[in-house]
Amino acid sequence: MPFKDILVHMDNGAACVARLETAIGLALDHDAHLTGIYVITPIEIPAYVEIHVPEDVLRQQVRTHEEAAARAEKQFREGVENAGVSLEWRLVHGRMVESLSLHARYADVAVVGQRSPAEDGPDMPDRFLLSVGRPVLVIPHSGTYPKIGERIMVAWDSSRLASRAVGDAMALLESAKKVDVMSIDPHGGHEGHDDVPGADICLHLARHGVPAKAQHAFSGDIDPADMLLSKVAEEAADLLVMGAYGHARWREIVLGGFTRHVLEHMSVPTLLSH
């Protein structure tokens, strides 16, 4: 399915400039409508504390949020209008993940940012990925990515989530110049790979005109997620496509996991599906 309706999360972080640039480039490539969204999260103050806070302090907090939203809107409109892309701006009040998820469910893909090392908590983009029900394109907090999708790497483990990710990314895969299907530590069995890991999904992609090549690697003493990321760099991929959170999220957060590691250490835009 082509990307005709794209949503990009706007904020006032330094990385938002690159995120918007990627979203604009994607919209231009697919002749898509681009919606920018800014979420004002309500100030949560216990009632017994709020009664002691001067009203002018609360009003100043509201003004600060509104001014930040206005700056984000200005940045969005100027960038998108200059590119000649159809646009829409949404300013919403509510909890971040719930608000973004609600609006992103009416888009083909949501573009969000990687959590920076200075940020705490796994809500964005982790919990958003689990909540939205749409493919999510995560843009690294460092670097610029005006053009993506020429050289794509697909992380393939023959799972439902990997299959979902391939389907969600088909519009990008069909226009790519090079696609590598990478299986890390492939295994056989009832839900495993066939004799040649990735061969069947490459055959499926070939029927869509996608120039896909199957590869596999064994991580040995290296973390499997690090092995995947090293292969992304080795093949000079500009986009990684993968399923997200195949294990319970609490387990990945507490014990560490493949998805979480990729989200923390990714160096190229990554399209994830759950």
Both 162 and 108 in a single domain?
Answer: no
Q: In one letter, which amino acid is 196? A: V
- Say whether both 11 and 119 belong to one domain: yes
Within a domain: 33: yes
Tokens 């969000």: give the residue. 112
* 212/234 same-domain check: yes
Q: Last residue of some domain: 77, 109, 139? A: 139
* Collapsed DSSP state (helix, strand, coil) of residue 76: helix
201 strand-pairing partners: none
Q: What residues make up the domain containing 203?
A: 151-242
The gap from C-alpha 53 to its chain's centroid, in whole angstroms, comes to 38
Q: In what order do the strands lie in the sheet with 178-184?
A: 87-93, 33-40, 5-9, 109-113, 136-139, 270-273, 239-243, 151-155, 178-184, 212-217
CATH label of the domain that carries residue 161: 3.40.50.620
Single residue among 139, 170, 201 that ends a domain in this structure: 139
Q: How many C-beta neighbours within 10 Å does residue 58 have? A: 13
Record the pTM.
Answer: 0.91
Q: What is the pLDDT along the chain (274 residues), one digit of tens a residue?
A: 789 999 999 999 999 999 999 999 999 999 999 999 999 987 766 565 556 667 776 677 778 889 999 999 999 999 999 999 999 999 999 999 999 999 999 999 999 999 987 665 557 898 999 999 999 999 999 999 999 999 999 999 999 999 999 999 999 999 999 999 999 998 765 556 667 789 999 999 999 999 999 999 999 999 999 999 999 999 999 999 999 987 655 545 544 589 989 999 999 999 999 9
Same domain (yes/no): 78, 32: yes
Residues 19 and 113 in one domain: yes
Query: Looking at the domain assignment, is residue 234 inside a domain?
Result: yes
